[in-house]
C-alpha cells in the first residue's frame, strides 16, 4: 500500500507542475519572465521527488513520514484525481461542438516526397523519422460549420484556416510551399492565418514563396502570435502586407460576397494590446484570435466564428487522456477542435508547423471550413 501511495503522489506531483506550466504559458507576461518561471517549475518538478526520496531514506522504516511531506503527498494525489476526472469529463464537454461535421481528411506525406531535405539537418531528420512521428504528415481537414446568423448569400463560403506555421528553418521551406499549394488547390474564398508565422528573421524572406502565393477569391487575412513578437514583428507585418495579405490585428476588414458584407477582425491579446473594434451592427463576424483563451470575449461580443491556434493540439497526446501540455489558462480544454457557446463557434487548429520535432497522435493540420446556415 505504501508503494502505491507514493507512486500516486509522484504522478500527482508531476500533474501539478504540468498544469502550472500550462496556465503560466497562457499568460501574456514578459517572455523572459515566463521562461524563468518555467525553469523554476521544471526544477521543482524534478527536485521535490529527489529531496523527498532522500528524506524518506533517512527516516527509519518504523517512523511515519515527515508530516509536511505526507501532507504534500495527499495534496498531489488530490490534484491527480481532479486532473483525471477533468480529462475524462472533457469527452462530454458541453462546449464541444456536435453540429460541425468533418467531411474529409487527407494526409499529405511531405516526409515521403522530400525525404531528408524536409529537415534542416541529419539529427532533425532522424527525429522526424521516428516511428509514429507525424511531424511531416499534415492533414487537410474539411469541416462543415453551421452558423446561426449566416446570411443565405454567404451559404457555402469556404474559409481556409492556417495557424502556427513556426517557420524557423528546422522544417525547410519546401514543406510550406507544398502545403500552401494544397490550400490553393481547395480554391477557398478566404484564407485566415492566426499567428506564430515566423520564428527567426531569415525566414521572413520565406513569406514571398509561401503565404505570398495564396490565391483566395476574397483575400488572405492575418494576425500575429506570441512567437512573432519575439522577433521584428513590424517587419513581419510589412512583408505580409507587401505580399497582399490583409492585417486585421489593428483594425477590422470587410469583404462582400453576392452583395452581403462579412467582417473579419483580429484579437492578438494578450501579447499585443489592441482590442478589436466592433460596432455590434455587423451582419456576420469572423474573429482571428491566436489563442483560444479569447473565446469568452468573442462570445460576449456576439462574434459568429472564431479561428484560433496556439495550443498545437498538445502536439504529443497520450490516448485516452489526450494532450498533456497546452499553453492555455484553460489547460487542455481547448487543445484542438471545434467548440460552440450560444451562437459563437470556435475552431482551434492543431497548427501546421512546429519547433519541437515530435508529434504523436496529433498530426499537423490545415482546415477548410465551409459555412452553412444553421
Tell me the pLDDT tens digit for each residue of 240-258: 999 999 999 989 999 999 9
Using the 8-state DSSP alphabet, how is residue 316 labeled?
B
Cα angle 245-140-146, degrees, rounded to a multiple of 5? 80
How far apart CA 66 and CA 139 sit, in angstroms, is 52
The residue written with cell numbers 525525404 in the block is 115
- Do 117 and 29 fall within a single domain? no
How far apart CA 217 and CA 302 sit, in angstroms, is 26
pLDDT at 124 over 90: yes
Using the 8-state DSSP alphabet, how is residue 231 labeled?
S
pLDDT at res. 83? 87
Contact between 95 and 337 under an 8 Å Cβ cutoff? The reply is no
Residues 281-290 pLDDT 10s: 888 999 999 9
Contact between 282 and 276 under an 8 Å Cβ cutoff? The reply is no
pLDDT at res. 84? 87
Stated pTM of the model: 0.92
- Do 157 and 298 fall within a single domain? yes
pLDDT at res. 47? 87
- Do 152 and 279 fall within a single domain? yes
Residues 315-352 pLDDT 10s: 999 887 788 889 999 999 999 999 999 999 999 999 99
- Do 230 and 185 fall within a single domain? yes
pLDDT at res. 1? 62
Could you please report the per-residue DSSP string of 46-92?
HHHHHHHHHHHHTS-TTSPPPHHHHHHHHHHHHHHHHHHHHHHHGGG
Which residues are bridge partners to 260 per DSSP? 257
Residue that terminates a domain, selected from 64, 92, 120: 92
The sheet carrying 337-341 orders its strands as: 253-257, 260-267, 285-289, 305-308, 344-348, 337-341
- Average pLDDT (44-65) is 79
pLDDT at 61 over 80: no
Integer-rounded Cα radius of gyration of the chain: 22
- Do 276 and 349 fall within a single domain? yes
Contact between 307 and 143 under an 8 Å Cβ cutoff? The reply is no
In the structure, how many helices (H) and strands (E) does the chain have? 8, 15
pLDDT at res. 6? 83
- Average pLDDT (4-8) is 86
Number of domains in the chain: 2
- Give the chain's mean pLDDT: 92
- Average pLDDT (121-148) is 95
Sign of torsion over alpha carbons 294, 299, 302, 304: positive
Cα–Cα nearest to 30, from 226, 228, 234 = 226
Stretch among 72-86, 97-111, 304-318 having the lowest mean pLDDT: 72-86
- Do 162 and 73 fall within a single domain? no
| Domain enclosing residue 86, as ranges | 2-92
| Residue 204 main-chain phi, psi, to 5 deg | -60, -35
- Do 289 and 360 fall within a single domain? yes
pLDDT at res. 297? 95
* CATH number of the CATH domain containing 235: 3.60.21.10
pLDDT at 54 over 70: yes
Residues 24-42 pLDDT 10s: 888 888 878 888 988 988 8
Buried b (16+ CB within 10 A) or exposed e, 287-313: bbbbbbbbbebbbebebbbbbbbbbbb
- Do 57 and 109 fall within a single domain? no
pLDDT at res. 15? 87
Residue 112 parent element (H or E): helix 110-114
- Do 236 and 191 fall within a single domain? yes
- Do 353 and 279 fall within a single domain? yes
Stretch among 153-157, 220-224, 323-327 having the lowest mean pLDDT: 323-327
How far apart CA 103 and CA 109 sit, in angstroms, is 20
Residue that terminates a domain, selected from 47, 69, 92: 92
Residue that terminates a domain, selected from 75, 92, 109: 92
pLDDT at res. 287? 97
pLDDT at res. 117? 92
- Do 236 and 258 fall within a single domain? yes
Buried b (16+ CB within 10 A) or exposed e, 83-108: beeebeebeeeeeebeebeeeeeeeb
pLDDT at 3 over 90: no
Cα angle 70-71-75, degrees, rounded to a multiple of 5? 115
pLDDT at 266 over 90: yes
| Residue 68 pLDDT level (bands cut at 50, 70, 90) | confident
- Grouping H, G, I as helix, E, B as strand and the rest as coil, residue 275 is coil
* 58 vs 351: which has the higher pLDDT: 351
pLDDT at 59 over 90: no
- Do 48 and 156 fall within a single domain? no
pLDDT at res. 360? 94
Cα–Cα nearest to 347, from 301, 298, 300 = 298
pLDDT at 178 over 70: yes
Amino acid at each position: 500500500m505504501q508503494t502505491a501511495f507514493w507512486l500516486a503522489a509522484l504522478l500527482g506531483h508531476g500533474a501539478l507542475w504540468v498544469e502550472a506550466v500550462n496556465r503560466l504559458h497562457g499568460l501574456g507576461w514578459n517572455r523572459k519572465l515566463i521562461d524563468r518561471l518555467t525553469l523554476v517549475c521544471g526544477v521543482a518538478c524534478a527536485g521535490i521527488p529527489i529531496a523527498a526520496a532522500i528524506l524518506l531514506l533517512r527516516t527509519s522504516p518504523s517512523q511515519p513520514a515527515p508530516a509536511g511531506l505526507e501532507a504534500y503527498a495527499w495534496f498531489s494525489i488530490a490534484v491527480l484525481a481532479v486532473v483525471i476526472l477533468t480529462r475524462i469529463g472533457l469527452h462530454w464537454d458541453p462546449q464541444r461542438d456536435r453540429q460541425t461535421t468533418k467531411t474529409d481528411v487527407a494526409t499529405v506525406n511531405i516526409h515521403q516526397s522530400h525525404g531528408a531535405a524536409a529537415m534542416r539537418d541529419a539529427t532533425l531528420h532522424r527525429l522526424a523519422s521516428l516511428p509514429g512521428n507525424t511531424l511531416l504528415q499534415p492533414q487537410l481537414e474539411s469541416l462543415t460549420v453551421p452558423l446561426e446568423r449566416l446570411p443565405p448569400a454567404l451559404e457555402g463560403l469556404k474559409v481556409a484556416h492556417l495557424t502556427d506555421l513556426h517557420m524557423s528553418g528546422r522544417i525547410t521551406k519546401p514543406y510550406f510551399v507544398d502545403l500552401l499549394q494544397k490550400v490553393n488547390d481547395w480554391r477557398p474564398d478566404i484564407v485566415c492565418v492566426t499567428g506564430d508565422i515566423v520564428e527567426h528573421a531569415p525566414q521572413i524572406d520565406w513569406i514571398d514563396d509561401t503565404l505570398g502565393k495564396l490565391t483566395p477569391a476574397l483575400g488572405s487575412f492575418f494576425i500575429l502570435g506570441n512567437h512573432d513578437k519575439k522577433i521584428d514583428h513590424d517587419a513581419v507585418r510589412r512583408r505580409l502586407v507587401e505580399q497582399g495579405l490583409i492585417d486585421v490585428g489593428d483594425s477590422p476588414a470587410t469583404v462582400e460576397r453576392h452583395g452581403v458584407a462579412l467582417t473579419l477582425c483580429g484579437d492578438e491579446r494578450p501579447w499585443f494590446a489592441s482590442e478589436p473594434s466592433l460596432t455590434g451592427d455587423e451582419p456576420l463576424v469572423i474573429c482571428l484570435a491566436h489563442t483560444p483563451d479569447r473565446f469568452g470575449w468573442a462570445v460576449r461580443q456576439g462574434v459568429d466564428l472564431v479561428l484560433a491556434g496556439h495550443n498545437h493540439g498538445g502536439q504529443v497526446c497520450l490516448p485516452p487522456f489526450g494532450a498533456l501540455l497546452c499553453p492555455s489558462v484553460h489547460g487542455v480544454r481547448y487543445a484542438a477542435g471545434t467548440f460552440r457557446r450560444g451562437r459563437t463557434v470556435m475552431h482551434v487548429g492543431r497548427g501546421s508547423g512546429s519547433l519541437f520535432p515530435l508529434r504523436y497522435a496529433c498530426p499537423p493540420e490545415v482546415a477548410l471550413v465551409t459555412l452553412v446556415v444553421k
